[in-house]
Chain A
């Protein structure tokens, strides 16, 4: 496969996955905003959301003032934010057009349909700003569905060859990054000691984290217990059954890289690096992670994950 094709497939998948994550983050944040608050209780929800989307600094630089309208606009339709949902879907389609021959008709149609719909949303958004909550909800639902359609069509229709494995790598490296960023922004809420000091607002913060990664229901199926912060951390880091957990992502990354190596008959640094990260997660326990510091653990993970991404690029000549 052309190196450029692999590169595009990888980033296309990352863009679609990121759009979904940002949509979920906005949704979860809106729910927090709806909560009744006592006077002077400032939650900094949008700051958290922007941080989780890796867009806080650029937002402040562009807007200065932080309010819901600006934050939502920045995360959804703002073309100056490289990670806005709009840009994610636009970039995905550009990459998709560049590699149409490597996509199945179904996958291309999923991407192209999402883009055509985006154009309609953009057109109506231009006339009615800010977006009202109903329209926003409809938009976010559409983004989640677009990502589902894309992922599903890849899974159901693509040959299990290099194109598919680069697609999977993109999805899971992005997903691992998203989950880790979310944990990083909220880690202070998830420390074992928080239960005592936290009020009811904390509880809803925890639930919001679960919602952002579509795990609110899953939590209860796994733990059959009320929401406890350290269990959230456990769910999102070490629970293999949870498809957005770091370990689950690495299981998939490891498998995709192994499949590539098997098909090519060549294994390299990327395979070794992924295997090591996977193994580290398998050996880890929450007790040990909390002892070493949750924050430190997550920061190191984000860096390692980014390093894997660039190692893949180098090994497969994207760069």
Chain B
């Protein structure tokens, strides 16, 4: 996808910086390269020392790696943020209503808004939950919505992560590190704080507790354990929330109630913020081989004695096939126009879509609806004529299995390297908390950055890094 002219959030080289970034641009200009280098080294040292690492499965010695951190902050103006915030709130509300509907009345299927097989044959659909309502109709208590920007005006949602989205610890730690390393630059901006995220999360989890007296509710974070790649985040969150970090073996179920084993004997648990996938939660109901889960947990949940966040079955809303329908879901459930755009998606199951896609195979990315990790995919602009013809035949044979999207030019931001400052592609993952009482979004999120030149892949497993994200008051011209 090289060659696509990307929008640079600071402004293109040779042009004056956008107003929002003026102070950052001046700071980058004025700061000697050696100082930037020493800040980079300090940042790495701080991360290693605190032990913010992510693990790699099955690789004992290389087991702990650092996700690279780029010291140049990524800026978003308050006005832009307010729009994002409204759009995110709307989107997550619709997703929660969709989940209530899918496991309940199925209006969405009955009224043919979504083809039934997309749900009923979805690998994350949980028939065990049919006819069940999540407490307060909240399923996705914590959602991470991936957003990309393509120009001055437009933000697109790239993905909805509604199962166990991770990365929020980086949002918080990145801020700590920037505040310590770049205090002057930080002070020159009016940056919205993010450090109330743990309190907001706690309030959110408390609001969905099954007990009457919610202030007494016992909340825990459930982790698969030390060797999970996101273990650092699990322990970080438990610590900031001031709640126990438990593993499956610390919990047991008796009379449909969940208890944890403490030094003072069993203690009742009311809310489980789980970072374990559905499949491993309860060997009695799901994967019987699982040792990460708690036998009887789902029974306790169905009896209404414990709240699981995110709820079991939420994965159906976090799926490529469903993604393209989210704007329709918003119209259907909220009778509102979507505030945040989806990346335009053409569904080959629909005759118009199929025609459009087949005519423009050289411009589009075509994906299998249930494929992942880049398999079964055609990148039109990079493919040969023969490959495109071959793929066209596959699409025609089974149109329902394919969707297509235009190639997007993700915006870039300046990043600091040994050889100097250079633009790199970024995305943004804000975290949306849905409680019984309200939707909460801390102003900010995790900015992921593709550190390899020209790369659009921001995933940490493929050379991606992170940046601190500043939501700043709109800058008035000072000079």
Interface residues of A (CB under 8 A from B): 1-6, 94, 97-98, 100-101, 105, 108-109, 112-113, 116, 162, 264, 266, 316-317
A97 touches B231 (CB 8 A): yes
**Provided the pairs A97-B231, A100-B239 are in contact, do residues A266 and B264 lie with their beta carbons within 8 angstroms?**
yes
CB-nearest residue of chain A to B243: A101
Main secondary structure of the interface of B (DSSP, over half): mixed
- The listed residue (B49, B236, B239, B261) touching A4 by CB distance below 8 A is B261
How far, in angstroms, from A126 to B265 measured CA to CA in the complex? 47
Contacts A2-B246, A94-B226, A101-B245; A317 near B49 (Cβ below 8 A) = no
B249 at the A interface (CB under 8 A): yes
Q: Which residue of A has the minimal Cβ distance to B242? A: A101
Which residues of A are found within 8 Å of B247, using beta-carbon distances? 4
Pairwise interchain contact B239-A101, C-beta atoms closer than 8 A: yes
Q: List chain B residues, Cβ under 8 A from A317.
A: 261-263, 265
> Is residue B48 within 8 Å, beta carbon to beta carbon, of the partner chain?
yes
Q: For the complex, what is the distance from the CA of A5 to the CA of B265, rounded to whole Å?
A: 13
A113/B49 in contact, CB under 8 A = yes
Q: Could you list some 7 contacts between A and B, CB below 8 A?
A: A2-B260, A94-B226, A97-B231, A98-B225, A101-B244, A109-B50, A317-B265
Judged by a CB distance under 8 angstroms, whether B250 is at the interface is yes
B223 to chain A, nearest CB (A): 10
Count of CB-CB pairs between chains A and B under 8 Å: 58
B-side residues, CB < 8 A to A, are 48-51, 225-226, 231, 235-236, 238-239, 244-247, 249-250, 260-265
Contact of B263 among A1, A100, A109, A116 (CB under 8 A): A1
A97 touches B262 (CB 8 A): no
**Pair B264/A2 contact, Cβ less than 8 Å:** no
CB distance from B135 to the nearest CB of A (A): 25
Closest-CB distance, B327 to chain A (whole angstroms): 41
Q: Would you give the shortest CB distance from A160 to chain B, in whole angstroms?
A: 16
Most buried by B among A98, A101, A162, A264: A101
A105 to B226, CA, bound (A): 18
Q: Which residue of A lies closest to B265 (CB)?
A: A317
- How far apart are the CA atoms of A160 and B236 in the complex, in Å? 22
Query: What residue of chain A has the Cβ atom nearest to residue B249's Cβ?
Result: A4
Measured between beta carbons, the chain A residues less than 8 angstroms from B231 are 97
Taking a contact as CB atoms under 8 Å apart, the answer to whether A100 and B235 are in contact is yes
Minimum CB–CB distance from A27 to chain B (whole Å) comes to 28
B250 in contact with A4 (CB, 8 Å) = yes
For B51, what are the chain A residues with a Cβ–Cβ distance below 8 Å?
97, 100, 108, 112
Cβ–Cβ contact B244 & A2, under 8 A: yes
Distance in angstroms between the alpha carbons of A97 and B231 in the assembled complex: 9
User: Which of B51, B225, B245, B247 gathers the greatest number of chain A CB atoms within 10 Å?
Assistant: B51
Give the distance in Å from the alpha carbon of A6 to the alpha carbon of B235 in the complex.
16
Smallest CB separation, B294 vs chain A (Å): 14
Q: Quick one: which of B239, B244, B247, B264 has the most chain A CB within 10 A? A: B264
A98 touches B226 (CB 8 A): yes
**Who on chain B is nearest to A166 by CB?**
B263
**Which residues on B sit within 8 Å (CB–CB) of A108?**
50-51
Closest to A3 in B: B261
Select from chain B the residue with minimum beta-carbon distance to A100.
Answer: B235
Q: Name, among A6, A100, A109, the residue most crowded by chain B CB atoms within 10 Å (CB to CB).
A: A100
Are B49 and A109 within 8 A (Cβ)? yes
The answer to whether A97 touches B226 (Cβ under 8 A) is: yes
Residues of B close to A116: CB separation below 8 A: 48-49
What is the minimal beta-carbon distance from A209 to any residue of chain B, in angstroms? 37
**For A266, what are the chain B residues with a Cβ–Cβ distance below 8 Å?**
264
CA distance A302 to B236 in the complex (A): 39
Assembled-state Cα–Cα distance A310/B334 (Å): 61
> Closest approach, in angstroms, between the C-beta of B201 and any C-beta of chain A?
15
Complex interface: chain B residues within 8 A of A105 (CB): 50
Complex Cα distance, B162 from A44, in Å, reads 65
Nearest CB of chain A from residue B20's CB, rounded to whole Å: 34
Q: How far is the CA of A108 from the CA of B236 in the complex (A)?
A: 12
